[in-house]
Amino acid sequence: MILDPPHDHVVRGRQARLYRALVASNGCDHPELRSREGLNKSILDFQTHNESGTRPDSLLQNQAIACSILGGPSMARIAFELVQRLPRRRNWAPVQFRAGLDTMAGEIRALCRPNLPARAETALGAERHGGRECLLQRHQVSPAVAHVSLKTKGKCVLKHLCRERCCAWGLSLSFAITSAVAGEPTQADDFPMVEHASFHQVVLADQDQVILNNRYPPGGDSGFHAHERDQFFVVIQPSETTAQALGQPLKAGPTLAVGAVGYGGEFGTRRVHRVINGKKSEAQFIVVEFRRAAPNGIAVSTREAAPQYVQVVDNARLRAWRLILEPGASVPTITQVGKGVRVVVRGGLLSTREPGKAPQLLWLKPADVAVQEAGATRALTNTGNSTVELIELELK
């Protein structure tokens, strides 16, 4: 497929400036992509080079974006295919592209708006988010279905493409640019796993579990990510949040209390969603993901001899308890049968006593986690001046 000719000399000038901004964003210049003839040839042999892996990543990146910059409506599908194909085989280095977004955003606006068809132009409105005017906001352009948003100074890139084709050249251009800049996939299989999502930090991992500290700043967006494992969570700091399943609208989530717990069974399915924290406060959750597809079948303790442990979850995968110790309070000795995890909800000074060992003092803070091995025997005393609250679980 050959590139459509540029619309006029003004557009050609904007194309050149936009491409220079692209080159500046990742420091790589490829002269063969500057001319229409060179780019046409490059597009024709893209498949061969991509399959054989002989092209450097920077050239593939520039080629994909240059396709949309220099092309017309006929380039929408090619640009989409390039964007789809590259993340599976190459490192797109999205951080490098974001660095050049400030410069590119203004050029995108100048390039897109003059060339939008009347039916698309009438649907474009100046929407404000937090007092900032969006450069481009579009929700429905028939027959294409696209959602593209660029915030002032390039600080936010959000897009969702539901079909492969865009009828308006301006929208196909902005989609291809934002896709490459954000480095975001568009198919469910291409989204990162939950442990690689923004604001999700792996604290501990072994053959049985992955423990995540999910801490969101005000307004923090995890981005779309995938869940494929059963998981247990503890709320450390609640906040007003919204969630969005892939292809669905945003929905307000429940505001849970500090210390609330929950369990979700995900094995055998692939759930893709994202979480956006509200702008008023931080949000923090400790999440325990279970790596094994099925429980080990190990027995766990009952802790009936220590009624201060209040059972909060009991299912085929785990048993969990909540322990609240006021200052000076103690809990009798228990023997942990299964391997487990301790999550601190409210911290303080805690004394741990094990048979044959000197007492151990622990200065705990909220969101502290520890793996507790099977067979451990211990008694606890709150020796501080603040209430200590723990969630402890054992794996079955």
- Asked whether residue 251 is assigned to any structural domain, the reply reads yes
Indicate if 248 and 360 belong to the same structural domain: no
Going by C-alpha positions, the residue among 143, 188, 138, 140 that lies closest to residue 165 is 143
- Asked whether residue 304 is assigned to any structural domain, the reply reads no
pLDDT at 224 over 60: yes
- Asked whether residue 83 is assigned to any structural domain, the reply reads yes
* Verdict on whether the full-model pTM lies above 0.75: no
| Dist. CA 331–CA 368, nearest whole Å | 20
- Asked whether residue 4 is assigned to any structural domain, the reply reads no
Query: Which residue, 261, 290, 319, sits at the end of a domain?
Result: 290
Indicate if 78 and 14 belong to the same structural domain: yes
Query: Which residue, 290, 321, 338, sits at the end of a domain?
Result: 290
Structural domains counted in the chain: 3
CATH of the domain at 359: 2.60.120.10
Indicate if 201 and 349 belong to the same structural domain: no
Average per-residue pLDDT in the chain? 68
The confidence score (pLDDT) of residue 76 equals: 39
Query: Which residue, 165, 186, 207, sits at the end of a domain?
Result: 186
Q: What is the pLDDT of residues 127-179, one digit of tens each?
A: 223 322 222 222 222 222 222 322 323 333 223 222 222 323 333 333 333 33
Q: What is the pLDDT of residues 327-386, one digit of tens each?
A: 999 999 999 999 999 999 999 999 999 999 999 999 999 999 999 999 999 999 999 999
Provide the pLDDT confidence category of residue 294 given band limits of 50, 70 and 90.
Answer: confident
The confidence score (pLDDT) of residue 334 equals: 96
- Asked whether residue 152 is assigned to any structural domain, the reply reads yes
Indicate if 146 and 20 belong to the same structural domain: yes
* Residues of the chain above pLDDT 70, percent: 52
- Which range has the top average pLDDT, 77-91, 252-266, 362-376? 362-376
Q: Residues of 187-218 as b/e, b for ≥16 C-beta within 10 angstroms? A: eeeebbebbebebbeebeeeeebbbbbbbbee
Indicate if 377 and 348 belong to the same structural domain: yes
- Asked whether residue 300 is assigned to any structural domain, the reply reads no
The confidence score (pLDDT) of residue 40 equals: 52
Indicate if 271 and 349 belong to the same structural domain: no
The confidence score (pLDDT) of residue 255 equals: 84
Indicate if 280 and 314 belong to the same structural domain: no
The confidence score (pLDDT) of residue 99 equals: 38
- Asked whether residue 273 is assigned to any structural domain, the reply reads yes
| Dist. CA 107–CA 20, nearest whole Å | 11
pLDDT at 86 over 80: no
Range of the domain at 354: 309-395
| Dist. CA 192–CA 304, nearest whole Å | 42
- Asked whether residue 299 is assigned to any structural domain, the reply reads no
Indicate if 61 and 33 belong to the same structural domain: yes
